[in-house]
Amino acid sequence: MKAHLTQLLATAAKSIAPDLNADSILLDRPKSAEHGDFSTNLAMILAKSLKQNPRAIATQIIAALPTNDYITKTEIAGAGFINFFLSAQSRQMVVRDIFTAGTRYGCNTQGHDAQGKPQKVQVEFVSANPTGPLHVGHGRGAAVGDCLARLLDASGWNVTREFYYNDAGAQIDNLTISVLARCKGISTEHESFPENGYRGEYINDIAAAYLTKHTVVADDIEVTASGDINNIESIRSFAVAYLRHEQDLDLKAFQIEFDVFSLESALYSEGKVEKTVNALVASGHTYELDDALWLKTTDFGDDKDRVMRKTDGGYTYFVPDVAYHAEKWNRGFVRVINEQGADHHSTITRVRAGLQALDVGIPAGWPDYVLHQMVTVMRGGEEVKLSKRAGSYVTLRDLIEEVGVDATRYFLAARRADSQLVFDIDLARTQTNDNPVFYIQYAHARICSVLSQWAALGNGTTVPLVSADLSPLTNAHEVALMQRLSEYPETVENAATELAPHVIANYLKELASDLHSYYNEYKFLIDDEAVKIARLSLISATQQVLKNGLDLLGVAAKERM
């Protein structure tokens, strides 16, 4: 419908301002129903170049609109807005559109290339170090990243979900000596416990499992502990495998699946780090100073150069990162989105600088980043800071166990990633309209209930809702609901473009609100067969859109509460 109107408007505008770029024609959804179904500020935009009063231009545009069946009324309002009022029939078309598209309603082809083929995009998210259980911050990354992947999938992209394990480097050394200390029975308070060691109870669990020669399986590896406390390598590989397994369980509990797990250690063992370093040296963007190798990241906008190879011979963390991203490019991802905590934002400039230095045709702004801010967990009006297992933070699994997967996912994805988030456990647990997850799921369940009751007592009626005569749908609630349903595809498109899953969460709240209002005002299972079928058709379409939207968030569309 929007496309139809834009077309009409373009035709009219061309006759008045031939030079006008058609892309600059924008149709808005007015906030108030008094302002019609659509409005445009086109006349005001043209005022300057045409040197005329916006309202006068608006009059001309309206006069030049081709005749059509969609618009029943136009008006000029305010400083020069043109408001369009749709015919009842035009408004009702969305219901049939939804039935036709079904689960695909709201999908688009933004991600297709010129040949109409889905392009490859990778979403890398969570990517926690295997040094402890996943915490709420990882949960936010998981919820946002997974929704982004779903949004991109709905937008015609060929999506790969990827988790990168930093299973090499200093933090793993730290983990290893922490476990070693526990194997030796050193308490976390004792002075000989590693100063920056990990102190959560899970370290104790790992040590105990190691000493009793347990076997752990994670993703594609299986490691059996030697139980030998003098074998540092054995402790290291066992501890990493143990925590990867733990994180797998965390992800499973959160219903997040990945297509690919990449290991930092593999980049070393396969020589890709070395290869990248050689390429960077060959590029001329490096230099030796004070027994270290530096990358001139200042050539690419950084405020100081960065060390690549430390005086001890090891590489700094961003070198494997650059190697990893060069690999992503080689794997054919035209687009990569890294979902990370904002505390790692300083890596962005370095990784991009490294990729530019390689000079292999990678675009300057590649890859994209979505950064999320911190999460504060509240219970009973007080901040929850500790978990028994992890010691220093709230684990994702604790949260899921307490409030459930649906609420956890919803709450963590329902806020803009770049603002700090307060997770209110009490709110997430309530089962009233205070809780948006419940409110939305309830709207869906109510529709299911009505439809099943109709099916149960509807002997004789064989009129399929799909082909119902929709002309009875004319009251204010029905108009509002149909309008909202017709906004869904734009909403999905916008959320994908902005990489903003919270847009979907907000939309669903409003759609649910429209449904509840309608439900409260009108009955559906009534004697008037024509009106009944039309209304059931509308709520059935609403049910579909609620389900489609909830699917994008990874939240269940329950049939019963």
Do the Cβ atoms of 45 and 102 come closer than 8 Å? no
Nearest distance in Å: CB 350, RNA: 8
Q: Which two tokens stand for residue 166?
A: 């930093």
State which H helix or E strand residue 59 sits in: helix 54-64
Nearer residue to RNA within complex by CB, 67 or 520: 520
Nearer residue to RNA within complex by CB, 392 or 449: 449
Q: Quickly list DSSP for 165-205.
A: E--SSHHHHHHHHHHHHHHTT--TTSTTS-TT---SHHHHH
Nearer residue to RNA within complex by CB, 135 or 415: 415
Nearest distance in Å: CB 34, RNA: 6
Nearest distance in Å: CB 378, RNA: 8
Measured between alpha carbons, how far is 247 from 217 in angstroms, rounded to an integer? 12
Do the Cβ atoms of 122 and 336 come closer than 8 Å? yes
Nearest distance in Å: CB 224, RNA: 26
In which order are the strands placed within the sheet that holds 158-165? Answer: 260-263, 158-165, 120-124, 335-341, 368-372
3-state secondary structure of 345: coil
Helix, strand, coil in percent for the chain, rounding step 5:
50, 15, 35
Nearer residue to RNA within complex by CB, 275 or 516: 516
Torsional class of 227: left (φ above 0), alpha (ψ -120 to 50), beta (otherwise): left
Nearest to 415 by CA among 349, 500, 542: 500
Nearer residue to RNA within complex by CB, 224 or 419: 419
Nearest distance in Å: CB 100, RNA: 26
Nearer residue to RNA within complex by CB, 186 or 342: 342
Nearer residue to RNA within complex by CB, 335 or 350: 350
Nearest distance in Å: CB 504, RNA: 10
Nearest distance in Å: CB 499, RNA: 12
Do the Cβ atoms of 112 and 118 come closer than 8 Å? yes
Residue 72: which residues within 8 A CB-CB, separation 6 or more?
85, 86, 87
